[in-house]
Chain A
């Protein structure tokens, strides 16, 4: 019995002892077989074209090639090589799956980049079909193919049409306003209240605080706010109240100084203008809030204006203003801050109303003309949306695609 067991154990181990030898022998046999079989490489791919990618500066080429479909299974992938001359060094650019005969070669625009692909240059390509058995075949060299930069981005046609249409509208209405045509503009609650709010401050003998927000001087909301500031400052000068304009941005500050000075001049009280009434606080968001809140609780303005670009500080300002019992008129184009102004202020100019208020207060027919153009654009947009939706309801999806802008 004991012997039988030992014999069985030896039998079990034997294959293990000989296995490396067996494996080696197997490989040799296989190599021999392969040599005998002479495995065929896959057929060559044939480069048909390499097209310049449209709508760019000329740093992309789409390479296309043909390959017999029946051999798809014998190929693992295609490798795409590129060179600057037919006999130059071909560099691997990328790979494409075995059933996809196209590759987008994307280069960089920057000269310093290792992937730099200059525009207006010729390129040569080679496609290598890598076979399943590790054997591959190279295509003939294709080329020269050129890259070009385009003068116009065709994907932006809807945008161009919109720009042109809008310019035509604006210029038309501005010109007709200039011609003396009366334009109706609906009253805006916040703006109607401006005079009353300034009057109240005068009666109480308290200052008026005007906050231009934390946008730059070129921010649209800030520009709208500048016009309103001009009007407010003029009234302030007439009523002989004092004005405080703490600024977040130095350029905004210097523009605001100009505007307030001009307003005092217009009101016929240039001597009353206090240069220190418009000043810089700091351009750190919360430090600015801390500073303005400090001004509020110490100088106790009767009326606060918050018009311009605002972020998280909106509520900190508006609540502090509310706590000191000031009348507050706010306006911003920042959707996320509007709720806070609506809750904490007496009047809020919502989004576009801020721009409208600036035109309204400016009383300049030219500015009002553009407001009319905006309304027309809105009207056209509404009609357009209805038409598109009707088309979609009728099962015609194409118009939705037309208005897409390729970025």
Chain B
């Protein structure tokens, strides 16, 4: 009951999903759409689990007075305030001023800044790659260099560099990406099949 039913369920549902791909009938498509909608709804409901975990982690930090526990108050206040604004009675939910302000002036700037940190991180990663000692790392570095300087004016060298960059992007780049994608595709299909057949069941836990 604890394992057999879920495994059977996986088999039946996934088999349907595979077969429906070959059947253009409306009824099948209708069920397919339903299944997708259901998974989406389950996904949203599962957020409650996340909320619970977040709440527990931070309240426990506060209770135990762990290191930096003061910041847990900030997380919890952010969470509670945003939930109150998001479920503001009478405002139709997320259309109210506070919810939008929190989104535009707290979430958006932090999100964009985190993303822009990548500029520094990519530079430090590149710097480390510059000190590369192995042949493979040097190859990686050379290819990166050619691509990076392709728009830099270098007199008579410019057309050569830009041609080389174009060729690298169009030819070896394409070849390797294809090889990876084919491998990933096969691995993904095999994993999906193992899940279907119940061979891969680590996601169900062990007890």
The reply, when asked whether chain A contacts chain B directly with Cβ atoms under 8 A, is yes
A75 interface residue, CB < 8 Å from B? no
| B25 with A151: CB separation less than 8 A | yes
A356 to B128: give the CA distance in the assembly, Å. Answer: 29
Binds A, one of B51-59, B88-96, B150-158, B159-167: B51-59
| B22 with A152: CB separation less than 8 A | yes
Contacts of A214 in B (CB 8 A): none
Given A312-B118, A352-B183, A374-B186, answer yes or no on A259-B205 (Cβ-Cβ < 8 Å): yes
| A226 with B54: CB separation less than 8 A | no
Contacts of A358 in B (CB 8 A): 191
Chain A interface category by residue count: 35 or more
Interface residues of A in 259-291 (CB under 8 A from B): 259, 261-263, 265-266, 276, 279-287, 289-290
Given A227-B202, A253-B49, A351-B180, answer yes or no on A319-B124 (Cβ-Cβ < 8 Å): yes
Contacts of B191 in A (CB 8 A): 220, 223-224, 355, 358, 370
| B50 with A253: CB separation less than 8 A | yes
Given A160-B22, A343-B128, answer yes or no on A316-B121 (Cβ-Cβ < 8 Å): yes
CB-contact partner of B188 in A56, A230, A355, under 8 A: A355
| A150 with B187: CB separation less than 8 A | no
Contacts of B135 in A (CB 8 A): none
Contacts of B53 in A (CB 8 A): 250, 253, 279-280
Given A226-B202, A333-B184, answer yes or no on A373-B190 (Cβ-Cβ < 8 Å): yes
| B186 with A316: CB separation less than 8 A | no
| B180 with A170: CB separation less than 8 A | no
Contacts of B115 in A (CB 8 A): 286, 312
| B180 with A315: CB separation less than 8 A | no
Closest to B195 in A: A223
A109 interface residue, CB < 8 Å from B? yes
A251 to B46: give the CA distance in the assembly, Å. Answer: 6
B172 interface residue, CB < 8 Å from A? no
6 contacts between A and B (CB under 8 A): A153-B22, A226-B203, A290-B110, A316-B121, A340-B125, A367-B199
Q: When A and B form their complex, which 9 residue pairs have the shortest distance between CB atoms, in order from nearest?
A: A258-B205, A262-B206, A352-B183, A250-B50, A355-B187, A280-B53, A286-B114, A280-B50, A250-B49
Q: Could you tell me which A residues sit within 8 Å of B by CB distance?
A: 55-58, 109, 119, 149-153, 156, 159-160, 163, 166-167, 170-171, 174, 216-218, 220, 223-224, 226-227, 230, 247, 249-251, 253-255, 258-259, 261-263, 265-266, 276, 279-287, 289-290, 298, 312, 315-316, 318-320, 322, 333, 335, 338-340, 342-344, 350-352, 354-356, 358, 362, 364, 366-367, 370-371, 373-374, 377-378, 381
